[in-house]
Chains A and B, each alone.
Chain A
Amino acid sequence: MLKSIQRFLIGTLTVSVRGSGSERFLNTVNKEKFKIWDVRKDDSDGLKFEIYRHNFKRLRPAVLKSHVNIHIVKRYGLFHSLRNYRHRYGIIAGMLIISAGVYASSFFIWDVRVSGCETVSVQEILTLLSENGFYAGKAKRGLDVKEIENSFLKNNDKISWISINIKGTTGYVEVREKGETPELIDSKQPCSIYAARDGVIASVDAYMGYSLVGPGDTVTAGDLVVTGNYTDKYGQEYKLHSYAKVMAYTTHSSEVTVPFETTEHVHTGRVKNKYSLKLFGLNIPLYFNSKIIYNNYDVTKSQKQLRITDSLALPLSINKTTYTEVDICKTMKSEQTALQDAYEQLRDFEYDLVGIMVLGREYEETVNEDSVTVKVILNCYEDIGITKIIE
Chain B
Amino acid sequence: MKNKMKSYSPLRAFIKGTDEYDTSIKEASSVEIIGNKRVVIEQVSGLLAYETERVRISTKVYTIAVSGSKLTLNSYSDGIIVIDGKIKGVCLE
Contacts and interface: CB of A to CB of B under 8 A. Distances in A.
Given A39-B72, A40-B72, A22 B50 contact: yes
B52 interface: yes
A35 B77 contact: yes
A26 B50 contact: yes
A37 B75 contact: yes
Given A30-B79, A41-B52, A23 B47 contact: yes
Contacts of B44: 30
A39 B76 contact: yes
A39 B79 contact: no
B77 A26 contact: no
A47 interface: yes
A183 to B, nearest CB: 80
B30 interface: no
A155 interface: no
A34 B78 CA distance: 9
B32 interface: no
A26 B75 contact: no
Interface residues of B, number: 16
A180 interface: no
Contacts, number: 47
B50 to A, nearest CB: 6
Contacts of B73: 26, 38-40, 49
A35 B46 CA distance: 16
A358 interface: no
Nearest to B70: A40
Contact of A23 (B50, B72, B75, B78): B50
B27 interface: no
Nearest to B45: A27
Contacts of A37: 74-76
Interface in B27-79: 44, 46-52, 72-79
A36 interface: yes
A115 B50 CA distance: 67
B77 A41 contact: no
A22 B47 CA distance: 10
Contacts of B74: 37-39
B76 A36 contact: yes
A30 B47 CA distance: 9
Nearest to B56: A23
Interface in A32-89: 34-41, 47, 49
B72 A38 contact: yes
B50 A27 contact: no
Contacts of B76: 26, 29-30, 36-37, 39
Nearest to B72: A40
Contacts of A27: 46-47
Contacts of A41: 50-52, 72
Interface string A224-242: 0000000000000000000
15 contacts: A23-B49, A23-B50, A26-B50, A26-B76, A29-B76, A29-B77, A30-B46, A30-B79, A34-B77, A36-B75, A36-B77, A37-B76, A38-B73, A38-B75, A40-B73
7 closest A-B pairs by beta carbon, nearest first, are A39-B73, A40-B72, A37-B75, A35-B77, A27-B46, A41-B52, A23-B47
Interface of A: 22-23, 26-27, 29-30, 34-41, 47, 49
Interface of B: 44, 46-52, 72-79
Given A30-B77, A38-B72, A40-B52, 13 more contacts: A22-B50, A23-B48, A27-B47, A30-B44, A30-B76, A36-B76, A37-B74, A37-B76, A38-B73, A39-B72, A39-B73, A39-B76, A41-B51
